[in-house]
Amino acid sequence: VVGFSVSREDQLDSVAAEIRTVRRTSRNQSIGVMVGGRVFVEHPELADSPTFSPQDWLELQQAEGATATVLVATMISMLLDDPAIDEYDTSSLRLIVYGGASIEPPLLRRALERFGCGFHQQYGMTETGCQTILRPADHDPDDDEKLASGGTDAVSFEVRIHDPSDR
């Protein structure tokens, strides 16, 4: 799986070209491409998702009784906006791991309420694995600051914030 994060609409054409290049040159002909980012959270109608369908995900989750899954914010938004979501039993879910892009507190609150399970954010997965995490216990629906944060540094990482002068 190859992941791309898109933060602005003006990047869509260049990302689409990169995806075509990856698919054309990959030795793995069944390569998966995951695209997320703020632009798709703000404009989910831009997501052309031939491999992700909320209906298919909901059917599979219910049939298999999955207890954990990995989603990006765009997928969470698509699931919550699907009018058929309440026709499915997702009560077996114990954990949703998400990343790939920031998630706005109102969307995260909706997801916490609807799915009623733990959420675990991993940030920086594309670059180096997982640099920061927001653990399930940190997902307080009444704490916008915490919900909007990148969490704390992951094991074996040290996070440092500095200005352009390295201060």
Helix (H) or strand (E) holding 127: helix 125-128
pLDDT in tens, 10-46: 877 888 788 778 878 877 766 666 667 777 767 766 6
User: Across residues 125-131, what is the average pLDDT?
Assistant: 56
The percent of residues above 90 in pLDDT, for the chain, comes to 20
**CA contacts within 13 A on the Cβ side of 158:** 1
User: Which of these, 95, 84, 34, lies nearest to 55 by C-alpha position?
Assistant: 84
124 three-state secondary structure:
coil
